Structure 1
Amino acid sequence: MKILFIHQNMPGQYKHLARRLAAEDGNQVVFVTKRDDRAIPNVRRITYRPTRAPHKETHPYLRSSEGAVLHGQAVARVLLDLRREGFVPDIVVGHPGWGETLFVKDVFPDTPFLNYCEFYYRSSGQDVGFDPSKPTEMDRILRTRINTGPLLQSLEACDRGMAPTEWQRSTHPAVFQPKIATIHDGIDTAALRPDPSIRVTLPDGGVLTRDDEVVTYAARNLEPYRGLPSFMRAIPLILEKRPNARILVIGGTGVSYGAAPTDGRSWLDTMLAEVPVDRSRVHFLGHLPYDGLLAALRVSRAHIYLTYPFVLSWSMLEAMALGCVVVGSDTAPVREVIQHGRNGLLVDFFSPQAIADTTAAVLAEPRDFAGLARAARDTVVAGYDLDLCLRRQSALIDAMTGREGRPPSRIPAAISPTERRTLALAGHDQARP
């Protein structure tokens, strides 16, 4: 079978699926991307570049759409070259977020196209307008509707879609939801296990173990979409309630979602100006290598995860797989996975006091919450395990390509430790911690 993947940040959500398909006898796998620094065994990588950026004179509502067309054109040129050399895929698997998949069905009209349905933006009821302290301007409402154009076109053109969670699937137009399957990217629960003997050495030389009162908070970038203001305002309250608590803050100071502060500072600097913290007990670790992130989560007694109604982070599920007690925001993406008091704890996104009180309770009596940690891991193993998700993804591809009932693939039953680490490191910056 010939499989074509399209994602500007190779491997993105396809780091495991592409590897598995490339390991099957007789498969040819091509990956079209903007990245030129990553490789997957047995996968041919083809890079592209848009010919230019959107014009400054383009209407502001249309700049992202123009960018999508430019990305789509650049990918279409690659696909035409592939067609000329005789490579016609049996299936195309792609992410529409940057416009790359806009013209897939125009170049390969008879090839099934599996669209990644990560999130469909709306002007109300989701991330836009979520924070009541920031009224939504009409300009943003109008721009949001126009910005969904490329997503809608790819969704209409695709043969099937795949969303990582049911809530993310539900953000898409109802008329198209029947052709979207809910299948998560997968969490490697075989590798992500609790480790009672874990030791973490901090930049100041201090060493933390599972006997310490460690709180973790992780995001790709520290920003409001992932609850940074509420978390920062909760820090002094946690430290006051638990004099021995140590807090590990993991993430960069850029902007992944939403807007940057208007004064040019980072959101972290903005919050530190409002909420000074004791740097001997609160450690801002920046971006960590994937192994470092996992070590921090393994030593954590309470992991705080806050998010707008938006894309669910891999890091929350990873924390659960590692046996963390998650103190999560009572928002739709989190509620899909965490049931309060059964496999985690839910708090008001906007209440630093509730975040602090709940976190302090976990720190004070870890044995009282040990059952939640075990149930959290069981939840991920049962519904989000990597092997389970890959089987579901493969079954969907087989159905789309008419290959149901084929014998099981002869591929390694497990990923070697070296391969596992390589894949994890390659995909970490695509995760949405």
Structure 2
Amino acid sequence: MRLLLIHQNFPGQFRQLAPYLQKQGHELVAICSHQRPTGVNCRILRYAEPPRRDDLPQGSSLAHDHLHRAADVARLCAQLDQEGWRPDCIAVHTGWGESLALREVWPEVPQVLWPELWVLPEHGGHGHDPLLPPSDLSKQLDQLARNTFTRAALAQAEAWVMPTRHQAASLPISLQDDRLHVIHEGISTAQACPNPDVNYTVAGHFIDRSVPTVTFVNRNLERLRGFDLFMRALPPVLRTHPRLRVLVVGDNERGYGSGHPSGRPLKDVMLKELQGSMDCSRIHFLGRIPHEHLVGILQASWVHVYLSYPFVMGWSLLEAMACGCAIVASRGMPVEEAITDGVEGLLVPMQDPQLLSQRILSLLADPGLRRGFSERARARALHWDQQRMLPKLEAVLAVTAAGGAQPRS
């Protein structure tokens, strides 16, 4: 098949799928809006990021951005068409409006979309995070705009893919029909795997499996992902274990949630709040690191902490499970789709740092308990292995390509 993959941050969700499709003999072209290397050896067309419009209201700014991207992507598709290259199927993430004008160029080419999430107030922490007031009109209008564009994109597509049942359930019932496919992007459990010989150095300190470590990984250090809860749980843990090292991976940006009410980075807020209560020299903030380094940190971890209010499930949770981490995680979705309390890990409420400390300490103190959770987490993670997921995604593209685009009323 000839396949066009569109994602402003390509490869994004297609990180594993694109190389797999190439190995199966499919011809790929990709479209994105960044200038960074992609790691995928195919033709890539790039468009410029839309100009910022700070003078527009939030919903209008979103519309400006989406329609600008849609037009730029359509022009690149028209360029391909003029060259005589036409895809059999288009795979595209809907989050930035890039698919909205594809039918203007190729009305007959079928589309498979990755909508990821139908945005609800709870996905920003509202109704769960006690620091957040009820969702106000501004946020409701922003969610309305995002979901309206998602609906417009889905109205032009033949199929869509959601990675988890939790994310699929966010869609309106009318969009949860046979066009919906719940298939995760997949992780490499051959790469993310237990490794008793792993070692690395951080801030001049040699770390291997004999050194107690606690790990915490997220794209950004934010309340939506429980970073403040994690930090408040650390003082008794560090006092109990003088050799313990804490490894924190993630950028110090605002993230998916609303940020701290003060406007300051949450890392700075928490370090000031906890100043003097713990030995911060044993907490290592690594920022964003290469994936292979992340895997090494997880392989050496004694206890991995993963926390989240209802939102999307991060790849890092599944990779930590695949590495055989003993995991303490938050109750509720999306975590409970992967971890059953007392089976693959231990679950705690999002607002109980004392209980989180106790759970971490119980695992640090009991190698046998850690070993049992490690083995069961690894076994569960195999269900998300890319060797199982990628053929299913390829099949969705092939079936959709064979069926062609359907007439739209």
Confirm or deny a common fold (TM above 0.5): yes
AA aligned to 2:141 is L
Q: Point out the more displaced range, 321-330 or 241-250.
A: 241-250
Q: Which runs of 5+ in 2 are unaligned?
A: 404-409
**TM-superposition CA deviations, 1:50-91 (whole Å, max 9, x none):** 5533x3333332211221111111111111111222222100
Could you say what secondary structure the match of 1:74 adopts? helix
Structure 1 residues 254 and 50 mapped into 2: Cα distance closer, same or farther (>3 Å)? Answer: closer
Find the counterpart in structure 1 of residue 359 from structure 2.
358
Q: Is the 8 A contact 1:22 1:41 kept in 2?
A: no
TM-score, scaled relative to structure 1: 0.88
Match of 1:216 in 2: 215
The residue aligned with 2:247 is 248
Residues 326-365 of structure 1 correspond to what in structure 2 (within 5 A)? Answer: 326-365=327-366
Taking the aligned partners of 1:72 and 1:50, their CA distance within structure 2 comes to 11
Counterpart-to-counterpart distance in 1, 2:367 and 2:100: 50
**1:268 aligned to 2:270?**
no
Please show how residues 161-176 of structure 1 align to structure 2 within 5 Å: 161-176=160-175
Assess if the C-alpha contact under 8 Å between 2:18 and 2:40 holds in 1: no
The equivalent of 1:282 in structure 2 is: 283
Kindly indicate whether residue 297 of structure 2 is the aligned counterpart of residue 312 of structure 1.
no
- Say which is worse superposed, 36-45 or 280-289, in terms of deviation: 36-45
**Distance 1:231-1:101 versus aligned 2 partners, 3 A rule:** same
Q: How far did 1:209 drift?
A: 1.9
What is the aligned length?
399
1:148 partner SS: helix
Q: What is residue 233 of structure 1 aligned with on the other side?
A: 232
Shift in Å, 1:129 = 3.0
Q: Matches of 2:330 and 2:206 in 1, distance apart?
A: 29
| 1:112 correspondence with 2:110 | yes
Gaps of 5+ in 1: 404-433
| Separation (CA, whole Å) in 2 of partners of 1:131 and 1:289 | 31
**CA displacement at 1:110 relative to structure 2:** 1.2
Q: Which residue of 1 aligns with 2:66?
A: 68
From 77, 83, 86, the equivalent of 2:84 is 86
Spell out, residue by residue over 1:296-333, the C-alpha distance to the aligned partner (whole angstroms, 9 max, x if none).
11111110000111111100100000000111110210
Query: SS at 1:402's partner residue?
Result: helix
- 1:98 partner letter: W
2:154–2:160 contact (8 Å) kept in structure 1: yes
2:130 — aligned with what?
132
2:140 corresponds in structure 1 to 141
Aligned to 2:75: 77
Quote the residue 1:389 is aligned against.
389
More moved, 238-247 vs 88-97: 238-247
Conserved 8 A contact 1:122-1:145: no
**Secondary structure in structure 2 of the residue aligned to 1:128:** coil
Q: CA deviation at 1:126?
A: 6.9
Q: With structure 2 as the length reference, what TM-score do the two structures score?
A: 0.93
Partner of 1:190: 190
* Identity within the alignment, %: 33
State how far apart, in whole Å, the 2-side matches of 1:159 and 1:12 are. 21
Shift of 1:370: 1.0
Q: Distance in 2 between matches of 1:77 and 1:128?
A: 39
- After superposition, the C-alpha distances for 1:160-182 in whole angstroms (9 at most, x for unaligned) are 00111111111111111112101
Q: CA deviation at 1:22?
A: 2.2
| Deviations 1:334-378, CA, capped at 9 Å, x for gaps | 000100111111111111011110010000002123111111111
- Distance change in 2, residues 1:51/1:143 (3 Å): closer
SS of the residue corresponding to residue 17 of structure 2 reads: helix
- The AA in structure 1 aligned to 2:395 is A
Residues 35, 47 of structure 1: 8 Å contact kept: yes
Shift of 1:262: 5.2
**TM alignment of 1:36-75, pairs within 5 A:** 36-40=35-39, 42-50=41-49, 52-53=51-52, 55-75=53-73
Give per-residue Cα distances to partners, 1:160-216, cap 9 Å, x unaligned: 00111111111111111112101111110112211112122111x211221222110
Query: Is the alpha carbon distance of 1:126 and 1:279 closer, same or farther for their aligned partners in structure 2, counting shifts above 3 Å?
Result: closer
- Aligned-pair RMSD on alpha carbons? 1.8
How many angstroms apart in 2 are the aligned matches of 1:356 and 1:73?
51
Deviates more, 1:320-329 or 1:103-112: 103-112
Cα offset, 1:35, TM superposition: 2.4
Secondary structure of the equivalent of 2:281?
Answer: coil
Q: Which residue does the alignment assign to 2:406?
A: none
Amino acid at match of 2:384: Y
